[in-house]
Chains A and B, each alone.
Chain A
Amino acid sequence: MDSIFANLTILLLFLTPVASTGLVTLFRKKRIIGIITICSASLILVQVFIIISRIISEKTITAFGNMFYLDSLSVIILLSISIVGFVSALYSKNYMGRQYDHGTVDDKHIVRYYQGFNVFLLTMLVIPTANSMGIMWVALEATTLVSVLLIMLYYKENAIEAAWKYLIIATVGLSFALIGTVFFYYANINAGSADDAMNWTSMVHNSKLFNPNLIKIAFIFILVGYGTKAGLAPMHTWLPDAHSEAPTPVSAVLSGVLLNCAFYVIIRFHIISSNAIGPEFSNQLLIIFAVISIGIAAASLYFQKDMKRMLAFSSVEHMGLISLGIGFGGLLGVYGALLQIINHAIAKPLMFFASGTISQKYETKAMSKIKGIIKVMPVTGVLFLIGGLALVGMPPFNIFLSEFFILSSGFQSGQFLATSLVILFLIVTFAVFLRHLIKMIFGNPVVPMKKDDMGKLAIIPMVILGALVLILGVFVPQQLQTLVQNAATIINHGGFA
């Protein structure tokens, strides 16, 4: 009886975006397909909340034999996917409508956009729910393909270039990841597992018997491979291009969620590797990549001229921080990292939405030509400022909390060198990012413009996210706390809830 309920939950979760893609293909009317997508995204959000309430009471859900496995860790990723998916669908309607009025896209493109958006959501939903590491790989590769299609929606030279780079680099990266996955699978077969050797639960179960040398090599392949997709430096080179050239709602999903999905798979392998050879090896690697990412992001932020590229580099920085928290380990570090995943997934889309609206208004993405946002678009300007302050880690906002946890766990675990380097980089980021932001928000516009906030549907998703940024900065709801704590226990205690 119980398993029927679980099967049904998972099935409905996948059927929603599938049905929505079908309806979009069927109706093909600009107004209707936007509403269909919003409905399906909000349905997914509701279903994820139901799943969360089940997970809090029962810790794990398995469905269809052992094919799907959910625990607190996967639910955190599901939560970020559904929130960002919902607000992006909401924002898409206004944004794509304006692109249409502007003549950048035609009816065919809009249909293609919404089809792609729904399939994109579907492929991302598969990643945290799957139990088999192979299916996770297939789904992650599928996200690359769908998002490449979404980036090349515009026939611009830059979009084609970004799509090409993204396709090639991400595919090569994922081929490394496949080698690592096969190594883990091989280790699991040798440890005596039979049919379900690709499943994460089976790998965790047998992980004590794995050959240590094999696991070391395998984890390096995994970290380089999935790290490429997660935007860890120095494999991040595709990221600023892809994130800045994609349509803005897609940028928000790419940056806020897709990076998390890739990092989620790294965390899964990190748990297995910690069981097999002790946590030191993978922790050190994660910390090294994290410090490089934050450093490179800090340096690159200084030189940015394009608003969306600046936000993309800030994503590299935040993925570095998440990796840092997992690498420092301990309850505090992992707790901070998981909270950071959610906080970043809320703050980054807010910034992308605001920047999308701003660039539509100013008709440019170049920061030097954007001045006096707060005078031209008061609401968007304030929200842009809130998001920016949150991203650099100012105290009353949500990211301050998680960054504080991560850095203090660094001192606790005795990683003084890494922690002080990161603090130094964060100070640089703080100064540089705020300088760019203040130059854009205050002052007077270069050419006089009409005061206009570009429509309610553009503002509502930003207000939702802005409110979440503020609320999560002062208090974390009880349910979320339990969820994150349970997930941290899973990571620290070898995988079982």
Chain B
Amino acid sequence: MVSTQLSILTISGSILIIATFSVVARRGFIDWLNAYRHQSIVLAGVTAIIGYITGIWEIYIAAALTLIVKSIIIPKVLTYVTRRLEIEFKIETNPYVSLRTSVIISALLVGLSYFLTQQIPFKSDPVVNVLLPVSMAQFFIGLFVLVNRRTVLSQVVGLLIIENGLFLFTMVLTHGVSLIIEVGIFVDILIGIVISSILLFRMGRTFDSLDVTNIENLRDD
């Protein structure tokens, strides 16, 4: 592989991680959405490069879908649904772990994903070496965001980051499973986001706040 391609991939990998970190370090929903949008654009670029290296045309379709669905449609839908929500629903004021500690934990998670990917026996391939740890890091940080935050909106963002990590993981490791499955995954995500938006909308009307600790009527005690 040409060294310029490799360095582009390395730089894109670091941008992906930086975008993930800005979700961890910021409090506002609009900031997260912007970070997610930038991350998705870079992700589409990375996918296109992988398509160029491997020469599989189906990957270009996946790249185009990423660009359209994740960097345009999903942010649009989420901004549209949340436009009427009160501002305090959109700001994470009181996460379980403070933002400063969250950044440190996320850094540790990045280290963990580099460690883990070295344990698993993969074929030595520059694309895998560069990007697989990045995808695992996205996955772990997404999980962390999901459990650490109190507002419902940040759970959606956590889910989106997890999903980006998964997409990169699949793309890097397998150069895309067959197109029909790829499209199926995209459709599932899109519908999932639409449904969660409908739910968010209804929650905004029925609940007093979108704090997950308030949404706990159903429990066994």
Contacts and interface: CB of A to CB of B under 8 A. Distances in A.
A178 B162 CA distance: 12
Contacts of B72: none
A135 B181 contact: yes
Given A145-B191, A148-B195, A160 B178 contact: no
B177 A134 contact: yes
A164 B174 contact: no
A182 B202 contact: no
Contacts, number: 109
A152 interface: yes
A157 B188 CA distance: 25
Contacts of B166: 175, 178-179
A186 B199 contact: no
Nearest to B152: A164
A172 B184 contact: no
A304 B206 CA distance: 26
Given A135-B181, A214-B120, A171 B174 contact: no
A162 B195 CA distance: 13
Given A152-B202, A164-B203, A303 B220 contact: yes
Contacts of A164: 152, 196, 199, 203, 215
Contact of A135 (B184, B199, B202): B184
Interface in B138-169: 139, 143, 146, 152, 155, 159, 162-163, 166, 169
B218 A198 contact: no
Contacts of B139: 175, 179
Contact of B218 (A144, A161, A178, A186): A161
A164 B180 CA distance: 28
Interface in B98-129: 120-123
Nearest to B185: A138
Contact of B220 (A178, A185, A186, A304): A304
B118 to A, nearest CB: 12
A172 B159 contact: yes
Contacts of B192: 141, 144-145, 167, 171
A475 interface: no
A235 B195 CA distance: 22
Contacts of A175: 139, 162-163, 166
A190 to B, nearest CB: 7
A179 B169 contact: yes
B85 interface: no
Contacts of B198: 152
Interface majority SS (helix, strand, loop, mixed), chain B: helix
Contacts of A245: 218
A387 interface: no
Given A142-B188, A182-B177, A303-B220, A168 B159 contact: yes
A138 B139 CA distance: 19
A94 interface: no
Interface string B169-202: 1100110011011001100100110011011001
A158 B218 contact: yes
Contacts of A134: 177-178, 181, 184
A167 B174 contact: no
B221 A160 contact: no
B174 A185 contact: yes
Interface majority SS (helix, strand, loop, mixed), chain A: helix
A190 B122 CA distance: 9
B96 interface: no
A91 B191 CA distance: 29
A213 interface: yes
A182 B172 CA distance: 11
B217 interface: yes
B170 A182 contact: yes
B217 A158 contact: yes
A142 B169 CA distance: 21
Contacts of B162: 172, 175
A116 to B, nearest CB: 12
Interface in B25-56: none
A132 interface: yes
B207 interface: yes
A393 interface: no
Interface in A142-170: 142, 144-145, 148-149, 152, 155, 157-158, 160-165, 167-168
Contacts of B206: 155, 157, 160
A217 B120 CA distance: 8
A250 to B, nearest CB: 16
Given A172-B146, A214-B120, A198 B220 contact: no
A211 B121 contact: yes
Contacts of A303: 220-221
A160 B121 contact: no
B217 A149 contact: no
B180 to A, nearest CB: 7
A421 B39 CA distance: 49
A213 B169 contact: no
A472 interface: no
Interface of B: 120-123, 139, 143, 146, 152, 155, 159, 162-163, 166, 169-170, 173-174, 177-178, 180-181, 184-185, 188, 191-192, 195-196, 198-199, 202-203, 206-207, 215-218, 220-221
26 contacts: A132-B181, A135-B181, A138-B188, A141-B185, A144-B192, A145-B191, A148-B199, A152-B199, A152-B202, A155-B206, A157-B206, A160-B206, A160-B207, A161-B218, A162-B218, A165-B218, A175-B139, A175-B162, A179-B166, A182-B177, A185-B174, A186-B122, A186-B173, A198-B178, A217-B120, A240-B218
**7 tightest CB-CB pairs across the interface, nearest first?**
A138-B184, A134-B181, A141-B188, A241-B218, A161-B215, A145-B191, A182-B170
Given A137-B185, A158-B218, A179-B139, 10 more contacts: A138-B188, A142-B188, A142-B191, A145-B195, A148-B199, A152-B202, A158-B217, A162-B218, A167-B199, A186-B173
